[in-house]
Amino acid sequence: MFSFLQHPFAKNCPKKHNVLLIETNGCHGEVIGGYVKYFQELGYNVYILISNTIKKENPFCRYDVKNIYSCNPKKFSKLLVAEYLNRYDHIFVMSSVNYDHGVQSVKTLYPDLAAHKSVYYIHHQIPYIYRFYRKTNTKHNIMLGKFKNTVFINPHLFGKYCIPQKSDKTIFVSVGGINPKRKNHTMLLSAITELDAMGLDFMVWIIGSGSLKHLQPNVRKHIRLLGHLDYKDMYNFVEKSHFFLPLLDDKNIKHNRYITTQVTGSAQLIYGFRKIPVIHKKFAKFYRFNSKNAVIYENLVNGMKSAILMKPSEYSQHITQLDNTATSIYNESLNNLKDILNA
């Protein structure tokens, strides 16, 4: 029988000036790489402990990341003990809650982890802080967006990428499950119908689980349903597209959370791959999008039409401005990380 004393993580003797990044769920793998780059920039030796699911989907496929350890999620309790954790100067928990059996606090599930001298928690929703981490020092509560009483650190680095030339056939991409709680695909289908009637040439790639039923031929010819993809394939499709569709609905009260209590994962891909977002004006400012680095709309049809008709020179100008925005967020995040580690 395999002993966890023989697990590579248990046997690891990390170099000095180190940090451990932990993700106990099978999701949020796309967040980890950005943190790795921030810590490397600050001169830290980085070590990663993740679930087997994340390792299999390989979110680090576009750059060389070493010192990765993984295990079955049910076995984290064997590894997240003081004997192993105290070898690290700092620990960053990539998700402050675990979803295996409903929402549970990582702090409660793994008491040795919570007792570490320098542990920080990344929260993906503000309510998690109120529910589980209200007494945690503010400097140890991290969010990917700017929210009161939290530290803003936005990881959006996925490795090298190329910017496609604006061509006659415009390609939009949307990433995320086909679910009205997350995105309004009905709004998208309606917009495609109108744009097709105008004779415009475009394609929409939809990445994520779920299905779209009973599509009319005039709509179906503009859509490529790619389903759930691993990170390598997802990154490749995002890279080759021209514009990103977050599909946030200003009339859906459930979508308000993307500017009040959490950040849409679309933003990370937009920043990281410099994909010009086509986004409703209600959500734009929170993500630092404006008319110079994004296509802002009140009606999705008009927004997509503007993107399709955008000239190559204007497209390049938008990319340049978006690059400036992403770089600014990178620098601010890096400085905030430096500040909390030196506090």
pLDDT reported for residue 2: 53
CB distance 228 to 234 below 8 Å: no
- For the chain, 343 residues long, the average pLDDT of each consecutive 10-residue run is 76 95 94 95 97 93 91 92 97 95 92 97 96 95 97 95 93 92 93 97 94 88 94 96 97 96 96 98 98 98 98 98 98 98 83
Q: What is the CA radius of gyration of the chain?
A: 21
Are the folds of 14-155 and 170-326 the same?
yes
Q: DSSP string of 201-252?
A: -EEEEEESSS---S--HHHHTTEEEEES--HHHHHHHHHH-SEE-----TT-
Q: Rounded to an integer, what distance in angstroms lies between the CA atom of residue 185 and that of residue 177? A: 10
pLDDT reported for residue 101: 76
Instruction: Classify domain 170-326 by CATH number.
Output: 3.40.50.2000
Pairing relation of β-strands 104-105 and 97-98? antiparallel
This prediction has a pTM of: 0.94
Which of 122, 120, 93, 124 is closest to 262 using CA atoms? 124
Tell me whether residue 99 is exposed, middle or buried, using C-beta atoms within 10 angstroms of its C-beta: 0 to 12, 13 to 18, 19 or more.
middle
For 339, the 3-state DSSP assignment is: helix
pLDDT reported for residue 1: 44
Any idea where the domains of the chain sit in the sequence? 14-155, 170-326
CB distance 61 to 235 below 8 Å: yes
Instruction: Classify domain 14-155 by CATH number.
Output: 3.40.50
End-to-end CA, the chain: 44
